[in-house]
Structure 1
Amino acid sequence: MQTVNQILRRVPVWAVYVLGLIPAPWLFYQGLTGGLGIDPIEALEHRYGELALQLLIAVLAVSPLRRFAGLNLLKFRRALGVLTFTYVSLHLLVWLVLDVQLPSQIWADILKRPYITVGMAGFLLLLPLALSSNDLSVRRLGSRWRALQRLVYPAAILGGLHYVMLAKGFQIEPLIYLSVILALLALRLPLSNPFSRFRQADSA
């Protein structure tokens, strides 16, 4: 793993941004040229949302991979977070501009459709993270910046729930996404040794 980490240190962060952004215009082009099927707007909306969830899972996996596998991807975590918000925003924009279009209908859908309410709540939680994803905010916020970053945990759960609720009928794929998110969050919990209290009692 040390060799892999040495290779990763040579990979520039901008390469992650470039590779991560390539699917965005490509999918849009496919939608324009008929490459996304008979309902390109719904397909484009789905693809952007799925990419956002995949990137969000990658963000959540950074710390567990370092903790349990020794793989250090910390230098790429901010880029993955920015890309996550980018695809969440594209997912939202397709829904707003190409799907619903009418402002009055947008607000009505947010209030009446639970899966949209949940998804919008997740987006609002990610918004301050995106706005503070710069060095200036890190310096100004200090320790509060780390506390702010914890909003990604409930945002990830809401994103997974949004996908599950959006699915028509029983579909295993959204449940897998939500399960992976919950598992990655569970791995962040501190590990406790059940025998530690007994050792403390003996030493006392």
Structure 2
Amino acid sequence: MRRLPAWPLYLLGAVPVFWLFWRGVQGGLGVDPVKAIEHRLGLWGLWWLIASLAITPLMRLTGLRLLKFRRAIGLTGFFYIVAHLLVWLVLDVQILSQIWADILKRPYITVGMAAFGLLIPLALTSNDWSLRRLGPVRWRRLHRLSYLAIPLGAVHFTMLVKGWQIEPLIYLAAIVAILALRLRRRKPARAAGAAVRP
């Protein structure tokens, strides 16, 4: 895996977006293509973000080292979420006053916007310059916002769907399990560090 570059992920990740819009233009997404595009972009973005969160636990459990791809996976997920938001803003709602009213009055939109707001500083600092500028400790602390942003994204999806559906609950459960693995791994390390202190 070390020999594989990470940059092709950005290109491969963008292909489904253009394919999805092309299907919408060609009439292949049903009677409401805007809603179909909006939904799929959000869902695919959640998939990418869950994948970025799972890289460290996967390495610990299986030894598969994918850390060099984590930045590309996370940024691709953010790209999908931005596209999801733009479709909602530009193609779905379109009216600025209505957008603000929906954010304030619809809880699932409020939660989704909160998740997006938390993702913005993570995306802006996902580069080597920011890592050097902030320092490893502060940079890692900042990027722990993903522990809140990604679950909020799953909650947004759970609140969005109509009726009782198992799919969003599966995503939410998977995120909770991944976070539990990450946090459980951190606690023994902290305890060991405290034990050797004089």
Once residues 89 and 106 of structure 1 are traced to their aligned partners in structure 2, the CA distance between those partners, rounded to angstroms, is 15
Partner of 2:12: 19
Structure 2 residues without counterparts, runs of 5 or longer:
none
Partner of 2:152: 158
SS of the residue 1:189 aligns to: helix
Partner of 2:139: 145
SS of the residue 1:188 aligns to: helix
Partner of 1:65: 58
Structure 2 counterpart of 1:165, one-letter code: M
Partner of 2:49: 56
SS of the residue 1:38 aligns to: coil
Count of aligned pairs between the two proteins = 189
SS of the residue 1:18 aligns to: helix
Once residues 33 and 181 of structure 1 are traced to their aligned partners in structure 2, the CA distance between those partners, rounded to angstroms, is 35
Shift of 1:60: 0.7
Structure 1 residues without counterparts, runs of 5 or longer:
1-7
Shift of 1:134: 1.2
Larger Rg: 1
Name the stretch that deviates more: 35-44 or 12-21: 12-21
Shift of 1:17: 1.2
Once residues 171 and 29 of structure 2 are traced to their aligned partners in structure 1, the CA distance between those partners, rounded to angstroms, is 22
% same residue: 63
Structure 2 residue 81 is matched with structure 1 residue 84: no
Residue from 39, 43, 68 that aligns with 1:46? 39
Once residues 18 and 67 of structure 1 are traced to their aligned partners in structure 2, the CA distance between those partners, rounded to angstroms, is 28
TM-score, normalisation: structure 2: 0.92
Shift of 1:190: 2.6
Deviation readout 1:15-63 (Å, 9 max, x if unpaired): 1111111111111111111111111000000110011010011001100
Structure 2 residue 184 is matched with structure 1 residue 190: yes
Deviation readout 1:62-92 (Å, 9 max, x if unpaired): 0001111101000000001110110000000
CA RMSD for the aligned pairs?
1.6
TM-score, normalisation: structure 1: 0.89
Structure 2 counterpart of 1:149, one-letter code: H
